[in-house]
Structure 1
Amino acid sequence: MADESFRIAELMLEGDTCGHILAKLALEAVGRDNPDLVRAMSGLAVGMGRGFNCGCLTGGCCVLGFYGGRADESEPVYPRFDVMIEEFSGWFERAMTEKYGGIDCKDVIGFDTALKAERCPGVILDSWLKIKEILEKNRVNPGGPAPARWEDD
């Protein structure tokens, strides 16, 4: 966990936002690089630029999609994908509402750069750890190939 905390801090210092960081952590876990995916996460920053849903919520769902979603008709969706998204979203809503009063970026940091520096690293780390926990619980190796493969139950 210390390595992950350090990596998150490092990426924040480089100017990455929460969505960028979650995508990079997932890509690094599987030993891949995908600048297009990371770039696409820019649209989630600062609650889609308006303080809406925190980028850790939307970015976390995208990361779960990276592992369990599909790219085209040749790939089926991972059978537990919906359950994983529901669990992550529910956890995020409960945790952030309890801590910050809501799930929106404006609730978590309120457009305050000092609060961003104070709170975002922890929210990102907690989100990443929860994503990994959900993946493992649903028999997806966070360090394994994406999209996830499964064997019949």
Structure 2
Amino acid sequence: MDDTLMQMLRYAAKGYACSQIMALLTLDRCKASNPGFVRAMAGLAYGCGNGAATCGLLTGACCVIGYFAGKGTDDEAGSEELMLMLETMNDWFQGQIGERHGGITCQAIVGEAGPEASRSICGGILAETYAQTVKILTDHDIHPQ
């Protein structure tokens, strides 16, 4: 088991949702802390709460990409490649996860099991999605560290 997977399991055991774990892994990688960002990511969990919306891992991954490539202050321009990176993430998630599970909503991915069972189902998806997020960023010369 690699360090990222171990850290994912630790965060899950502490009660963080999938989208929050995406944020926490990102902040760990940058040796940063941002509780507000982590709290905000809770709003994406389980398809924004009812399972019918897009999986929090896709929306969380897009937030992580935006964390690095988006405009954050009046003096920043943000990356001109942000929309391309978001499109790349969306296409990858739909092609990989959506095809495998019959859709990209939480209900499609975890089925009748609901959010309680999502930890066992979604752990692998979290690892794949986090790796793809880092790949997209580095492919666009953004090196989260």
TM-score w.r.t. length of structure 2: 0.93
Range moving further from structure 2, 125-134 or 106-115: 106-115
Q: Which amino acid aligns with 2:46?
A: V
Matched, 1:42 2:42: yes
Match for residue 15 of structure 2? Answer: 15
Could you tell me how far apart the structure 1 residues matched to 2:93 and 2:85 are? 12
Which structure has more RCO (C-alpha within 8 Å, separation ≥ 6)? 1
Could you tell me how far apart the structure 2 residues matched to 1:97 and 1:58 are? 14
**Which runs of 5 or more residues in structure 2 are unaligned?**
none
Match for residue 5 of structure 1? Answer: 5
Shift of 1:44: 0.6
Could you tell me how far apart the structure 2 residues matched to 1:67 and 1:138 are? 11
**Which runs of 5 or more residues in structure 1 are unaligned?**
144-153
Q: 1:140 aligns with which of 136, 139, 142?
A: 142
Could you tell me how far apart the structure 2 residues matched to 1:91 and 1:141 are? 20
Match for residue 121 of structure 1? Answer: 123
Runs of 4+ in structure 1 deviating by more than 4 angstroms, as ranges, are none
* Number of residue-to-residue matches in the alignment: 143
- C-alpha change, 1:74 and 1:27, in structure 2 (3 Å) is same
Q: Percent identity?
A: 32
Write 1 or 2 for the structure with the bigger share of helix. 2
Match for residue 61 of structure 1? Answer: 62
Matched, 1:91 2:92: yes
